[in-house]
Amino acid sequence: MPADFDIVTFFPDGEDPEISQIETSHLSKRWLDVCSGMLDDLGPVFKHNMGSTLAHFDVCLAGPMGRLLVFGKACYEFCISLGESSDQDSQALDHFLDFLKQACKTTGSELSPVAIAAFSGRSSAPSLMMFDYCNSGIGDDQKLAIGQLGIHLANAYYDYCHPELGAR
């Protein structure tokens, strides 16, 4: 990823998302290596169990779209925008927005205008869009850990798509 990227987290109530920014220099080299290794070994489309002490974590990736599971329960859905204004970025973001609208609809809510506006310009800005399932069966510590894994995976995916930058 570039020097920094936005993380935009949405919730089932459809209210305004949480928006933060991460500097890639603050990411763990160890976890970046783990995520880069997954992409190198499995390619950009896979379902992978983390194994060992993290055997309760599963990562599903289909290009820029993915899901993070804890104990087999969905924790986060995500979409990675490379920020290139490409058809892939636009289509992935459109698909994710449709997913969010449907997810909110199933809870009897709808996306706020601010949540919808959070998509503006995302195809031209490196971003990680996340939907928090707010699954009560997943503890906060596990949720935080798998969320961090998702952030590292987004960075590794950017590097995977841009090997010419030599970031790895």
Reported as a pLDDT band with limits 50, 70 and 90, residue 3 is low
pLDDT on residue 114: 96
pLDDT for residue 120 is more than 70: yes
Which DSSP symbol is given to 112? -
pLDDT on residue 168: 40
Domain range for 118: 4-165
- Summarised one tens digit per residue, pLDDT across range 53-103 is 999 999 999 999 999 999 999 999 999 999 999 999 999 999 999 999 999
117, amino acid identity: A
Q: How far apart are CA 152 and CA 27, in angstroms?
A: 7
Number of structural domains the chain divides into = 1
Q: Across the chain, what does the average pLDDT equal?
A: 93
Reported as a pLDDT band with limits 50, 70 and 90, residue 167 is very low
pLDDT for residue 165 is more than 90: no
pLDDT on residue 4: 85
For residue 113, the surrounding DSSP H or E stretch is helix 113-117
pLDDT on residue 158: 92
Q: How far apart are CA 101 and CA 77, in angstroms?
A: 13
Q: How far apart are CA 151 and CA 157, in angstroms?
A: 10
Q: Which two tokens stand for residue 60?
A: 């599903």
